């Protein structure tokens, strides 16, 4: 996990406080910002490094805005769903992801073949 970083707020849209969390191939940014009326809100940004066919990379970002009046319901819903997943999700083997892409099990025609299987086919 990365440390906290406090940023000076010169205009009403600058970040007041920020926390970055690196999690595998993703980085999550939690940023506190303020409105023109000096009301704080949270932005949560997911950032993933992506490569095009030529090998150039860019960062794909997804962002949500969370306002103070929604904090309690959001955190309750998040806690409930995280607990559900922890208690009910089947165990899945983590496989290395060489290309930074997520595997989509529904559209994948990939089969797990062991080298021993290939030798036995001769």
Q: Is 50 exceeded by the pLDDT of residue 27?
A: yes
Interval 32-89: pLDDT, tens: 999 989 999 999 999 998 888 998 889 999 999 999 999 999 999 999 999 999 999 9
Q: Is the pLDDT of residue 98 over 90?
A: no
**What is the predicted pLDDT for the residue at 13?**
63
pLDDT of residue 57: 87
Task: Name the 3-class secondary structure at 24.
Answer: coil
Chain segment 103-122, per-residue pLDDT in tens: 444 444 444 444 444 444 44
Domain boundaries along the sequence of the chain: 4-89
**What's the rounded Cα separation, in Å, for the pair 5 and 33?**
13
pLDDT at residue 23 in the model: 92
**pLDDT for 4-21, tens place per residue?**
554 544 444 667 999 999
Cα 37 to chain centroid, rounded: 30
**Considering the domain 4-89 in this protein, what is its CATH number?**
3.10.450.700
| Counts for the chain of helices (H) and strands (E), in that order | 2, 5
Say if residues 30 and 21 touch (Cβ distance below 8 Å).
yes
């Amino acid at each position: 996990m990365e440390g906290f970083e406090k940023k000076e707020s010169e205009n009403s849209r600058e970040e007041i406080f920020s926390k970055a969390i690196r999690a595998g191939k993703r980085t999550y940014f939690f940023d506190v910002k303020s409105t023109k009326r000096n009301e704080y809100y949270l932005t949560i940004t997911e950032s993933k490094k992506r490569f095009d066919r030529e090998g150039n990379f860019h960062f794909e970002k997804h962002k949500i805005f969370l306002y103070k009046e929604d904090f309690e319901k959001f955190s309750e819903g998040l806690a409930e769903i995280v607990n559900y997943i922890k208690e009910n999700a089947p165990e899945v083997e983590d496989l290395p992801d060489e290309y930074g892409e997520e595997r989509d099990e529904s559209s994948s025609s990939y089969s797990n073949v062991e080298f021993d299987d290939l030798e036995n086919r001769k």
